[in-house]
Amino acid sequence: MLIQLTYASHSSRALGPADVKDILQTSQRNNSAVGVTGALCLANGLFLQQLEGDRDVVNQVYLRILKDSRHTEPSILDFGEIASRRFSNWNMGLISSIAENRQIFLKYSRKSEFDPYSMSPSSLRGFFDEIVQGGVRWIG
């Protein structure tokens, strides 16, 4: 069964480009091996990640991610069956709140800063749909 899991977390320290590159490369390598796709957003010191794939596999990947000391306070925001993947071309794409993307981050946030913890499942769906449809600059 195909599912998506979306969670938010706090970056545990100021992560530099090397940390982010390491997370992205590891994610792409591991996820492609097990058929997981998705997107990772980093903005305002917060992560928002959507994982898609087989239910058991996504659970295993998420449990491993939870043990990572580079982030804290993980919270599942949405979880459910999906008919098809959103990010079929991305084993893990990264987007950040660089100037070009700031508008889209704020469009779905209730506050003036990006705050995924306060986003409802329908806002999250709108946010990720818009990301896939384009108009967003991917880092890798």
Ligand X SMILES: Cc1cc2nc3c(=O)[nH]c(=O)nc-3n(C[C@H](O)[C@H](O)[C@H](O)COP(=O)(O)O)c2cc1C
Nearest-approach distance from CB 55 to ligand X, in angstroms: 15
Cα–Cα distance for residue pair 15/21, rounded to 1 Å = 10
Cβ–Cβ contacts within 10 Å for residue 124, how many? 19
- Comparing CB distances to ligand X, the nearer of 30 and 96 is 30
- Comparing CB distances to ligand X, the nearer of 49 and 97 is 49
Nearest-approach distance from CB 71 to ligand X, in angstroms: 4
Cα–Cα distance for residue pair 119/125, rounded to 1 Å = 10
Nearest-approach distance from CB 118 to ligand X, in angstroms: 19
> Which two structure tokens, joined as six digits, stand for 43?
């903005």
Binding site for ligand X (CB under 6 A): 23, 26-27, 30-31, 40, 47, 49, 51, 61, 64-65, 68, 70-71, 92
- Comparing CB distances to ligand X, the nearer of 87 and 108 is 87
- Comparing CB distances to ligand X, the nearer of 58 and 103 is 58
Residue with token string 């499942």: 121
Nearest-approach distance from CB 96 to ligand X, in angstroms: 12
